[in-house]
Amino acid sequence: MPKETLPLWPREHGAYAQLGVALACGAVLGHGSRGIFQAVLAVALFLASEPVLVLLGRRGEAARGASQVRAALRLVILGSVLLLAIFGAWIGAPAAHLLGLLPAAALGAILFFLFLIRQERTAAGEVVAAWAFSATAGSVVLLGDGGGRRALLLALLLGGMFTLATAVVHCHILALKRGGAWFPRFAAFALGAALCTWTGLAALHGSLPRAAGAALLPMTLAALWVWAAPPAPRQLKQVGWAATAMALLGGALAVFSLW
């Protein structure tokens, strides 16, 4: 690829869907101005990851010369947006709200470290990303005056849903590598069933809204589909698109249950 055409957009396509769903859910439940600024901050940090990797030489010989100049300019622009977002989200915010940002910050730091050691596309790396994005949704709710309980419950529901989505995709790939083995795919469905059972019991106990368990059902159905009628290897993208669609539906149900 010519140096001048080296893309500077993050390459982890599934991350776009998870971050988008997380920020949309967070912005609906915490739609105060600070929450919106926090969502903008998260987007700026996410978009800055690729230019940083280019400047660090992580993109091979193509990441030289003109590409590094473009990456530096991109970081200047995103850095300006980031500073404005920090000013709008953090300046004058209650100390308790700022402390509530620590889980998202810690998970984001771990995720960036995994990028540096080239482990971001492993199952473990994608689970860390899932919870980092979920915690980010909680921070948007918190700063947007949506309430600490809502922020925590949304982060937990999205974290469970995104973890299940990661399990669906990776267990299907593992099963394909083992000649169509059924157990890895069944494990993903079992995880979904366990998460739904947990949310159902928590709802009956009063720890979660009664409708919260429904948020995990769409992704569990996707896991059941992959287990019962696994797509062929050439249809692997369909699994990803199905997980994205179920994440959108599950996110909408999560917001509805916490509204």
Listed in sequence order, the residues at least 6 apart from 120 whose beta carbon sits closer than 8 Å to its beta carbon are 12, 111, 114, 126, 129
Helical segments of the chain, H only: 13-29, 33-55, 66-90, 95-99, 102-116, 123-143, 148-177, 183-205, 217-228, 236-258
The CA distance from 146 to 31, in Å, is 7
Q: Would you place residue 164 in the very low, low, confident or very high pLDDT band (cuts 50, 70, 90)?
A: very high
Map tokens 């590409």 to a residue: 67
> Does residue 212 have a pLDDT over 60?
yes
State how far the alpha carbon of 7 is from the alpha carbons of 37, 53, 63, 77, 188, in Å.
Answer: 26, 12, 10, 16, 34
List pLDDT tens digits, range 40-78: 999 999 999 889 888 887 776 555 667 788 889 999 999
In the chain, where are the structural domains located? 147-259
Q: Which residue, chain included where needed, has tokens 């400047």?
A: 55
Please report the pLDDT score of residue 189 as a whole number.
94
pLDDT of residue 2: 46
By CB atoms closer than 10 A (0-12, 13-18, 19+), residue 80 is: exposed
Closest CA to 160 of 204, 202, 181, 191: 191
Residues in the chain: 259
Q: What is the pLDDT of residues 85-143, one digit of tens each?
A: 999 999 999 999 999 999 999 999 999 899 888 888 899 999 999 999 999 999 999 99
Region 201-224 average pLDDT: 90
